[in-house]
Amino acid sequence: MSPAYFRVFLTFARNSLVRDMTYRSNFLINALTSVCWMAMNLGFYVLVFSTVEVGGMKLDLGAGGWGRYQFFVFIATSMIINSLVQTFFMPNAEEFSELIRTGGLDFALLKPIDTQFLISLQRIEWASLANFVFGLLLLGYALLRLDYTPGPVSIVLYALYILCGVAILYSLTVALAATSIWLGRNQSLYDFWFYLTNFSRYPMEIYGGNAMGVGLQWLFTFLIPVLVVVNIPARLFTRPLSEQSWPLALFTIVATALSFIGSRWVFRRALLSYRSASS
């Protein structure tokens, strides 16, 4: 990001923060609601693991050995990635169809700045960062309970793959939002987003039980790479990457680049089909 674009981003961030602080009660309610929702989801898994352990069994999700605290690292990683996407990108994607309907996209196209950058980052939902903080606290707690301690290299790679996960989900968000130009109004954006990203909420090993599961695993790893979004960084903090895991980790880098390039292409193609609200 060039210095000029970074200054524009800081302006967007400051304006969004001023807007949120103008209505502080609403900001606090949104943040508290998000955290409570995540806490209830976490409570469900705590209950599942506790019930199984009381029954004398040890629960592993999939063949990869995702026990209680390994899975908590997985959940925390999912919270961190999704909170960043919901903070910086999802509010803007949801408003894109409204910009088309009201003609606001005309003014965005006239500004001397990249349109995708402007559309993607002009509004920041600071309340969603509450989930980011909750995810960090859960991650720290789970890491203290694990037998495996990630080294400095794993920590650096974890941060890198968190950014890769955010970039992949951002690319998916932009591509879905761009369809508003062709469809006129895409109110099902958030629903479709949830349907796709729902596959990333669990370790990919659980999809290997039968032919249908293997097909889903292949589809959401190599064609729509949402499974690598959380799985790869979470593995870095729960175990050393094996020789079998490194190819998938390298593929994640490639998938991130291809996803961003693909979403950029879809966005530009959609803009070519845009007709001004005044035309």
Q: What is the spatial distance between Cα 116 and Cα 136, in angstroms, rounded to a whole number?
A: 30
- Mean pLDDT, the chain, rounded, equals 85
pLDDT tens-digit map of 97-131: 788 877 788 888 888 889 999 989 989 999 999 99
The 8-class DSSP code of residue 219 comes to I
| Token pair recorded at residue 163 | 């950014």
| Token pair recorded at residue 79 | 């919270």
Q: What is the spatial distance between Cα 157 and Cα 221, in angstroms, rounded to a whole number?
A: 19
pLDDT higher than 80, residue 183: no
Q: What is the spatial distance between Cα 167 and Cα 96, in angstroms, rounded to a whole number?
A: 19
Q: Percent of the chain at pLDDT above 90?
A: 37
Greater model confidence, 42 or 244: 42
Q: Where are the alpha helices (DSSP H) in the chain?
A: 3-22, 24-54, 68-88, 90-102, 104-110, 115-121, 129-145, 152-183, 189-197, 211-218, 227-236, 246-272
* pLDDT value of residue 229: 93
Phi, psi dihedrals of residue 263, rounded to the nearest 5° = -70, -35
**pTM of the shown model:** 0.90
| Token pair recorded at residue 150 | 């990630």
CA angle 196, 222, 244 (to 5 degrees): 120
| Token pair recorded at residue 210 | 């039968």
Encoded amino acid at 225, one letter: P
Phi, psi dihedrals of residue 213, rounded to the nearest 5° = -65, -40
CA angle 45, 148, 252 (to 5 degrees): 75
* pLDDT value of residue 242: 67
Place of tokens 């693909």: 262
pLDDT band at 68 (very low <50, low <70, confident <90, very high): confident
Q: What is the spatial distance between Cα 222 and Cα 228, in angstroms, rounded to a whole number?
A: 9
pLDDT band at 261 (very low <50, low <70, confident <90, very high): very high
Encoded amino acid at 150, one letter: P
Please report, to the nearest 10 degrees, the dihedral formed by the alpha carbons of residues 202, 208, 60, 155 taken in order. -50
pLDDT tens-digit map of 74-85: 999 999 999 999
Q: What is the spatial distance between Cα 261 and Cα 136, in angstroms, rounded to a whole number?
A: 30
Please report, to the nearest 10 degrees, the dihedral formed by the alpha carbons of residues 251, 257, 258, 264 taken in order. 160
pLDDT higher than 80, residue 243: no
